[in-house]
Amino acid sequence: MGAKARTVLGRDTTAKVVAGMLRDQIQEGGLAPGTRLRQNEVAERFGVSTTPVREAFAQLQAEGLVRIDPHRGAVVFHPTAEDLLEYYEIREVLESLAVTHAIDELTPQIAKELNELIERMRRTTDARRWLRMNDEFHLKLYECARRPHLSSLIDNLRDASTPYIYMFVASRKPSDQANEEHQEILDACVRRDSKAARRAIRDHLRHASGDLARQLSEKDDERAGDDPGTSGS
């Protein structure tokens, strides 16, 4: 490997490390929505040059965690309830379609694996681990549909929803209700009851989006209350 290739590889790896650390801070609330990320300050904090920091910002922008403002530079994203509800509205249609196709292809072995996954989700108290298993449950089920383009669309939309989910869910105890909803989805699929499976998916996504949208609105109200410019005289 030439020196140039090693330089590019090293820079790419550094950018991923910086992006990972910033991602964790954003999702865990260490960097609040609206926070301006200055390249020089971030580079100094992590002991790197500004080039991998700029590339890390680009990665985070692609994930929806950061917005690149022409005047302010990189800014931690400010989620809105409207954006979230739109994501979930589209997901409801696509995931209902996926589960309909998945039912006929769901093997006893995959059903067993999904049941075991739900049991692990019930046992864990680590919210971030639960969220990773949540994604695994849904994507593994939808892969049974054998519709790669549909699965790709769902995966992209789930990625777009992830910042909202991690912002609020990663700091709380995993949801018992969500675990039971996963079980309802799987049980309906095992029974080959497509109507019940679609209803279970719809209810699951609506409960999640409603809860998250409510928390977003409360956060916005808190920020407005803290802003002296919005208070009454």
Residue 129 has pLDDT above 80, yes or no: yes
Could you give the residue range(s) of every CATH 1.10.10.10 domain in the chain?
3-76
Phi then psi for residue 232, to 5 deg, are -80, 165
- Encoded amino acid at 155, one letter: D
Give first-to-last CA distance, the chain, whole Å.
67
Strand ordering across the sheet containing 66-69: 36-37, 73-76, 66-69
Buried b (16+ CB within 10 A) or exposed e, 61-85: eebbbbbeeeeeebbbbebebebbb
CA contacts within 13 A on the Cβ side of 32: 6
CA 62 to each of CA 55, 56, 146: distance values in angstroms, whole numbers, following the listed order: 11, 10, 27
Q: 95 versus 6: which is more confidently predicted?
A: 95
Please, what is the Cα angle at 57 between 69 and 137, to 5 degrees? 115
In this prediction, residue 223 has a pLDDT band, given cuts at 50, 70 and 90, of low
Determine the pLDDT at residue 231.
25
Strand partners, 73: 69
The architecture that CATH gives domain 3-76 is: Orthogonal Bundle (1.10)
Question: What are the tens digits of pLDDT across the range 144-186?
Answer: 999 999 999 998 888 777 767 776 776 677 889 999 999 999 9
- Point out the least confidently predicted range of 54-63, 68-77, 111-120, 205-214: 68-77
| The predicted structure's pLDDT at residue 171 | 64
pLDDT at 230: 26
Q: What is the pTM of this model?
A: 0.74
pLDDT, position 229: 36
- Which of 38, 79, 90 has the alpha carbon at shortest distance from 166? 79
* CATH 1.20.120.530 residue window(s) in the chain: 81-222
Give CA–CA dist 33/164, Å, rounded: 11
Q: What are phi and psi of 218, to 5 degrees?
A: -65, -40
**Gap between the Cα atoms of 94 and 88, Å rounded:** 10
Q: Is 81-222 a domain of CATH 1.20.120.530?
A: yes
Surface-to-core class of residue 7, CB atoms within 10 Å of its CB (0-12 exposed, 13-18 middle, 19+ buried): exposed
CA distance 120 to 114: 10
Bridge partners of 74?
A: 37, 68
